[in-house]
Amino acid sequence: MADQKTQPVLYWTLRGRLSPDNRLACRPGLLTSHPPQATFDEAVGDLRIELLDRQGRLLVQQKVPTAQYCPEQPEAIPDVAVYVKVPFHPETRMIRLWRGDVLVREWQRPESSPVIEDLSVKRDQGRVRLAWRAHHPSGAPMEYFVRFSTDGGRTFNRLSRRLDATEYAVDETQLPGGKGWIFEVGATDGVNTTTSDSAPLDLPEAPPKVEIASPPDGASVVHGATVLFSGEVVAFIGQSVDVQSIAWTSDRDGKLADRFVFETDQLSPGIHRIELEVVDGHGRTLGTHISIDVAKG
């Protein structure tokens, strides 16, 4: 049975895009216990956030960090990216975002919080499927998010983007697997945030992946040209990989190398199937392949 809890009220988080004419595009804010981290260099400009109580008295005021939304084209796209975590006062009833003397946006805090019920998590044909019911006593609209924990619920990592639906599915191959996975569903009305945790779930451990960074699949080169081959083992966060052996092979020329990065100008003319195989410390063979066309000069 899912364990429901109300997220500790510590920081109100806002992320969005602000145009020069003060139009703000953003998803609903949420409350989180995760402390703020340095996202932009500093809080510059005249953007600020205010938290007010029921009588309109100022509780918290904080400058809002911004950064150029598209630094490559600042003149064509003069918008700024906005990201702030402001310490949340429990008596907050209204949040205001100001740019100088201009009120950009105002958020009213609903009197009640979202309610999440009947969270279920199951494995189904290689996917992990979550489903839940939710309602808001005040009738406020809500958005949802999914996170996961592999340490018994001490820390959580984001799994999904914001969701409008009360269901979510992810391929097991996208998860590192292991014992005691806890999935957390959150619901936010823009201010109040409620989360519900699943019972622990064991998932099959997914092996690391082998990737070829260079050359790209389908590349064409001239016979005699030097070709750079580069590969790597990509592991999930928390996974360690003990590499026992590395083998590059061509279906035309046989063995090419036994290291991740090498160069050669000895490929014979024709279309090659290039394979990279790695044997890890568990004796598993991890592999991938590309094709490369070596044209006669």
pLDDT digits 0-9 by tens, 206-221: 778 899 999 999 999 9
Q: Do 186 and 154 share a structural domain?
A: yes
**Counted domains in the chain:** 3
Q: Do 104 and 7 share a structural domain?
A: yes
Q: Do 219 and 189 share a structural domain?
A: no
Arithmetic mean of pLDDT, 108-114: 95
pLDDT digits 0-9 by tens, 32-67: 887 776 555 554 568 999 999 999 999 999 999 888
Q: Do 217 and 142 share a structural domain?
A: no
Residue where a domain terminates, one of 163, 186, 203: 203
Q: Do 182 and 231 share a structural domain?
A: no
pLDDT of the residue at 193: 94
Q: Do 126 and 149 share a structural domain?
A: yes
Q: Do 128 and 90 share a structural domain?
A: no
Residue where a domain terminates, one of 92, 108, 124: 108
Select from 144, 134, 236, 128 the least CA-distant residue to 182.
128
Compute the distance between CA of residue 82 and CA of residue 63 in angstroms, rounded to an integer. 11
The mean pLDDT of the chain is: 90
Arithmetic mean of pLDDT, 189-218: 92
Instruction: Indicate the pTM of the whole model.
Output: 0.69
Q: Do 54 and 96 share a structural domain?
A: yes
Residue where a domain terminates, one of 203, 230, 250: 203
Give residue 87's domain range.
3-108
Q: Which residues contact 35 (CB under 8 A, 6 or more apart)?
A: 10, 11, 85
For residue 126, give the CATH number of its domain.
2.60.40.10
Lowest mean pLDDT of 35-49, 116-130, 183-197, name the range. Answer: 35-49
Q: Do 194 and 159 share a structural domain?
A: yes
Q: Do 223 and 198 share a structural domain?
A: no
Q: Do 248 and 179 share a structural domain?
A: no
3 state DSSP class of 122: strand
